[in-house]
Amino acid sequence: MKKILQNNKIRVGLLFVCCALIVVLSIVAPKYLLARTLTEQTNHVEVAPEEYYLEAGTMMSRNTSSNLSAVDRIKLISGTWDSNMTKCDITEGFLDEVEAVELAKKQLDVYYKQGVYPYSVQIQYDNLYSYSSELYCYTDTSFDTYAAYLWKITFTKYDNSVENIVYMTESGTILLAWTNNTKFAQTTTLLDFYENVQIRDVLGENKLYTASAVEYMPVASVTIPYPDAEEIKEIKNGALITLRVSGDLENLQALQYTTEHGQGIVLMPLQNNK
């Protein structure tokens, strides 16, 4: 009987000791593990994954690029500023496709209403157009910091009788408008156009520019710097537009020209300024 009692006392004692150890460990162990983890994290520096830097760089580039002026975008796209061109997905720009198409329609009307372009592509009962779009990205070669997007939008009349191709920046500046109409005779020269139009309507930007225009005809052959544009066959008339931007003067040439299959208008910096 005594042995049984003694054995029970031993078991109770062991059970009590085990419980005490469990309680002590449950209090002490978490503190020890937490202190050890904090020490390891404090003394160890990990390099962030490469994609974090790439994403941060992309966001910084987009933020910087969104603040480019209309003239800056023309310089980057035309090659006045050294840039690399890539064809990109139409979802990569700041505008979506519908926004770009509606802006192109609005901006093309500026030329149509002044008589320097033969067609409006605004939807009317007898003036229905389908469209297709391409998007090009121009990135500066120095730091890959700035990017400008060029929309190439082709408007085709419902009966396939007329095709209009518009090259436009995301500011709304039409850099080139071409049509397969070879018989259109303009009622207004480009000089008259630029003397009577608000330059902000042409550039698509509400900045205050001081602008002047004079008649201009290039003395050498002109190469259009925009992708897949049909070569100039003959220049009909032109204007030299001088913009004062933050104290600096920027010269742009506007030309009305014919090609083998149509005619168009183009806006670009003077090539000898490149």
Q: What is the pLDDT of residue 182?
A: 83
Residues 18-68: pLDDT tens digits? 666 665 556 655 665 555 655 555 554 454 455 443 444 444 556 667 788
Query: Is it the case that residue 92 has pLDDT exceeding 60?
Result: yes
* Tally of domains in the chain: 1
42 within domain boundaries: no
265 within domain boundaries: yes
225 within domain boundaries: yes
173 within domain boundaries: yes
Which tokens go with 104? 């192109």
24 within domain boundaries: no
Query: Residue 188 belongs to what domain range?
Result: 50-273
Measured from the Cβ of residue 104, the count of other Cβ atoms closer than 10 Å reads: 25
Give the residue from 177, 163, 169 showing the smallest Cα distance to 257: 177
Per DSSP, the three-state class of 97 is helix
pTM confidence score: 0.77
Residue 41 vs residue 76, higher pLDDT: 76
203 within domain boundaries: yes
Planar angle of CA 179, 185, 190, nearest 5 degrees: 85
254 within domain boundaries: yes
Residues 149-189: pLDDT tens digits? 999 999 999 999 999 999 999 999 999 999 998 888 777 89
241 within domain boundaries: yes
Residues 104-131: pLDDT tens digits? 999 999 999 999 999 999 988 788 999 9
